[in-house]
Chain A
Amino acid sequence: MGSTNSTLLKIPNVEVLMQETGFSPAHIIRLHDRFKALDKEGRGHLCPQDFGAIKELAMNPIGDRIIGAFFSPGKEMVDFHTFVKILAHFRPVDKDRPKEPNSPELINSRSNKLKFAFQLYDQDKDGKISRDELLKVLRAMLGMQVTEEQLESIADRTIQEADLDRDDAISFEEFRKSLEKVNIDHKMSIRFLR
């Protein structure tokens, strides 16, 4: 057991964080505990090795890409705010939250969830998934179980179907269009308890 007020006070700018992400105080505290548990050396920030130490993540075929999503290019550290903001992408959409016309888009909106998934493919961040990048993802997910030819044929077919402007790459709009029937909210959300 612990007292919420005293823990919340230790986190700087916690009000802003709750506002931006929509997490409740209890969630923020639990995530803070988790952050501290992952930060074994108590530095106050996480580095890629701390994520790599999570065994279930190391087993995940696209584990490295997910870890990469936490670190902006050139940065080797993630502080608690960034950690929570990225995890906020996976909050279920608040159906009953009124959409204010001038407010910035919520982190866990459908569009932002899609953007997160898009960046797992688009590693060089040029806004397009090239054939090469698609091949790399396929290789990561399938490992040595399939031949190079099979991979290439899968990649070709995928680009053929999604690429509408025939530039041999999938832009974000094309990505979004090809997934318009998928229930993104359900598939890219985690059920946070209480």
Chain B
Amino acid sequence: MGPFMSPFNNLLCMLLGISFTVWFTLLLVFIIVPAIFGLSFGIRRLYMKTLLKVFEWATVRMERGAKEKKHLLYKPYSLNSIIAKEPTSLEEELKEIRRNCSSRELDEFEMSDTFYFCRRGIESIVDDEVTKCFTAEELESWNLLTRSNNNFNHISTRLTVLWGLGVVIRYGFLLPLRHLLYVHMSVCVCRMKNFLSEKVHLMCYRICVRALTAIITYHHSENKPKNGGICVANHTSPIDVIILASDGCYAMVGQIHGGLMGLIQRSMVKACPHIWFERSEVKDRHLVAKRLSNHVKDKSKLPILIFPEGTCINNTSVMMFKKGSFEIGSTVYPVAIKYDPRFGEAFWNSSKFGMVNYLLRMMSSWAIVCSVWYLPPMSRQEGEDAMQFANRVKAAIARQGGLVDLLWDGGLKRGKVKDTFKEEQQKLYSKILVGTQEVRSRS
């Protein structure tokens, strides 16, 4: 056994050594060098096209399989509504109810008035806008990831084989590759942090982008944010930062986090003038506004990147923009970011997954495909207050990205509904009921 093992061992070592060298060279040539110079070979786009063809085949196969077994396939509830909500207002409804009942005017209470509120309440139990914003978007067809699996139990052998192959590729090839690149990048950053200039920053972010296999399409680059301005974008995940920062340099604003995020934040601030706040300081809005406006006045400083929603939303809609960044008075450069969920769900559901879990899922998805639109700069107009300006910018971003424009506050993810909303409903109803009584005298 002894003499037999030795040459075999040697052969094995040699093979491993060669494959490692080949692997490394490929890595360098195809990924790191183009990242440094901002070039692209188009390999990722080819990969994306191939994946799409595979998904289409999988969908056809599933539909055929389901038909053969006489199962029905259904669309998940988050895509289509279960119910059709009546768009009538309180006043119209009350008038309608009473029209049949009596010839009385609208200003007297009827016991059937509760029907409106009751129905609205039940409708919101069955289907409401806000809960849908904070759960990951469900796909129309399956993209061969277990995490987006909705009871596709063994519809066909070929599909299962394909899924198995996908698992092997994603966890055996893509994940280690991306992890390796990420580690490389962190090492580079640590060593060069004293000499980081804009160019090197861009390079690091570009390597990061390739580390995640992010395929990004930038539109209207002529509208890219300039120094002394504020860039606002809709927020879906921490990766938004990487996507925007790999195409331009920004100063970032945000809350200091603990853990992995905190480490990244602290290492970034040593190179660039980012503005990180302590949680207690965030509550002091004047301080925040002052620091921001000081930064903006200095034309040599980088544009500030802000996510006015304040939290991650699931990329199907845009929630209320906090008006703080719109009060400062500088030019606002809106940016719309839209992810393609077929290749991997980019939404970070922070109440469900921590940062490390999220990164793992990102690195083991097929790819991260998104489109970034740079919209023309906007400024506050005469007679417009900060909230109206914020809503105007939000509408522009929603329109460009094909997202639903909602008035709800992103803070609802964790906080309770303010009592003011209930009061509004009460005010509306009482106005109808009692408001007109002051004009008429009671008989």
Q: Which A residues are within 8 Å of any B CB, using their own CB? A: 1-7, 25-27, 29-31, 33-34, 37-38, 51, 53-63, 66, 87, 90, 116-117, 120-121, 137-138, 141-146, 150, 153-154, 157-158, 162, 170, 175, 178-179, 181-184, 187-193
Q: Closest residue to B73 on the A side, CB-wise? A: A1
A59 to chain B, nearest CB (A): 4
Q: A155's closest neighbor in chain B, by CB?
A: B109
Q: Complex Cα distance A55/B121, Å?
A: 10
Closest to A59 in B: B421
Interface stretch (choices B123-131, B190-198, B372-380, B394-402): B123-131
B151 in the interface, Cβ–Cβ < 8 Å? Answer: yes
Which B residues are in CB contact (< 8 Å) with A158? 109-111
Given A25-B72, A60-B422, A121-B114, the answer on whether A187 and B430 have CB atoms closer than 8 Å is: no
Q: Provide the residues of chain B in CB contact with A188, threshold 8 Å.
A: 115, 118-119
Nearest residue (CB) in A for B420 is A59
Cβ of A117 to closest chain B Cβ, rounded Å = 6
Nearest-CB residue, chain B, relative to A141: B429
Q: Does B417 contact A (CB under 8 A)?
A: yes
Interface 9-mer from B30-38, B77-85, B302-310: B77-85
CB of A90 to closest CB in B, whole Å = 5
A3 & B71 in contact (Cβ 8 Å cutoff): yes
Interface residues of chain B, those whose CB is within 8 Å of chain A, are 59, 62, 66, 69, 71-78, 80-84, 86, 93, 97, 100-102, 108-131, 135, 139-142, 150-153, 155, 408, 412, 416-417, 421-427, 429-431, 433-434, 437, 442
Known interface pairs A31-B82, A137-B114; A59-B75 also in contact (CB < 8 Å) = no
Cβ-neighbour of A6 out of B115, B128, B153 (below 8 A): B153
CB distance from B356 to the nearest CB of A (A): 21
Q: Is the CB of A192 within 8 A of B113?
A: no
Of residues A31, A59, A138, which shows the largest number of chain B Cβ atoms within 10 Å of its Cβ? A59
Q: How far is the CA of A78 from the CA of B416 in the complex (A)?
A: 22
Instruction: Please judge, given known A-B contacts A31-B82, A193-B80, whether A2 and B74 are in contact too, CB under 8 Å.
Output: yes
Please tell me if the beta carbons of B72 and A27 are within 8 angstroms of each other in the complex. no
Whether B430 pairs with A191 at a CB distance below 8 angstroms is no
Q: Are A2 and B122 in contact (CB under 8 A)?
A: no
